[in-house]
Amino acid sequence: MSIENISSNRSSGGWHKQYTHASRTVHCDMRFAIFLPPQASETNKVPVLYWLSGLTCSDENFMQKAGAHRIAAELGIAIVAPDTSPRGENIPDDPDGAYDFGIGAGFYVNATEAPWNRYYHMYDYVVKELPAVIEDHFPVSDIKAISGHSMGGHGALSIALKNSDLYRSVSAFSPIVNPINVPWGQKALSNYLGEDKNAWREYDSCALIKKATSHLPMLIDQGDADQFLHDQLKPENLLQAAEEAGYPLELRMQEGYDHSYYFISSFIEDHVRFHAKHLK
């Protein structure tokens, strides 16, 4: 598994770097970004926080806008940000070029329907291939946490709920918690997975939390002025499912905050410190 470095920037005493590699999971060249804190070395392998971005994003949005490097440098944590879908000229996309499906909108599932099923395996890419690449090429340990925003918050929560043995903690900003019951999720899941709703529930955090047999530390921040709160996000559905399941989670409603990266940069320090406690 070779990777190609395409950019390097010194940042907060560490390094921000972008790479591409030929993914055998999603069958195209994939780009990812990594922040390596100054503490990272072959004799001091650091834990990794995986960040999953939202609709339309690439590996760059979080690295450029969240202000997370400073805190990760202080705490000695690497951050890895993959792209949000396979990408390239030969990758099938939404026929209307919509922002909420296809390229930039992989929803962190393994598609089963043609033509998506050859490429759109972002679940396996994030859970299996990418960590193997990261651990093979960088001075990091296999100790991991996961976080994300919006569609990426859905990805982080659903992946953590299905893989509580792989991650120490999970957090999310403005996550889509109940994709089977909201327009963004219904469009994506019906296209990627077909009409069998049993398959959809395998990626629905409200359904998954009821089946969880072990509990990861879970922190969620949600702005109460988020323009997508009532139609697409519905955090109250996850809160209710968690209560029914006896799954402890902290959901913080943040007054006046919207869906933008200004919200993420306002609270990212809390999230990185939350994960750092569990990554030690």
> Measured between alpha carbons, how far is 134 from 132 in angstroms, rounded to an integer?
5
CA distance 58 to 265: 17
Any catalytic annotation for residue 226? Answer: yes
- Between strands 46-52 and 78-82, the pairing is parallel
Q: Site for a copy of itself (CB under 8 A): which residue of 9, 41, 44, 227?
A: 9
Share in percent of the chain as helix, strand, coil (round to 5) = 40, 25, 35
**Rule CB under 8 A: is residue 70 a binding residue for a copy of itself?**
yes
User: Which entry of 53, 58, 150, 174 is annotated as an active-site residue?
Assistant: 150
Q: Minimal CA–CA distance to 35: which of 3, 75, 96, 77? A: 77
The reply to whether 228 sits near a copy of itself by the rule CB under 8 A is: no
Q: Which of 147, 226, 271, 275 is catalytic?
A: 226
Q: Which of 19, 263, 272, 274 is in the footprint of a copy of itself by CB under 8 A?
A: 263
Nearest approach in angstroms of CB 34 to a copy of itself is 13
* Binding of a copy of itself by 227 (CB under 8 A): no
User: Closest Cα to residue 217, out of 154, 179, 271, 256?
Assistant: 271
> Which residues, listed in sequence order, are joined to residue 250 by a DSSP beta bridge?
219
Tell me if residue 11 is catalytic: no
Number of residues engaging a copy of itself in binding (CB under 8 A): 24
d(CA 250, CA 246): 13
Q: Out of 261, 271, 275, 279, which residue is the one contacting a copy of itself (CB under 8 A)? A: 261
Interaction of residue 223 with a copy of itself, rule CB under 8 A: yes
CB of 70 to a copy of itself, least distance (A): 7
From 11-19, 114-122, 123-131, 177-185, give the range in contact with a copy of itself by CB under 8 A: 11-19
Nearer to a copy of itself, 16 or 275 (CB): 16
269 C-beta neighbours (distance < 10 Å), count: 16
Q: Which two tokens stand for residue 65?
A: 């806008």
Dihedral sign, CA of 186, 215, 79, 140? negative
Q: Which active-site residues does the annotation give? A: 150, 226, 259
Q: Contact positions toward a copy of itself, by CB under 8 A?
A: 9-13, 16, 64-65, 67, 69-70, 223, 225, 255-258, 260-263, 265-266, 269
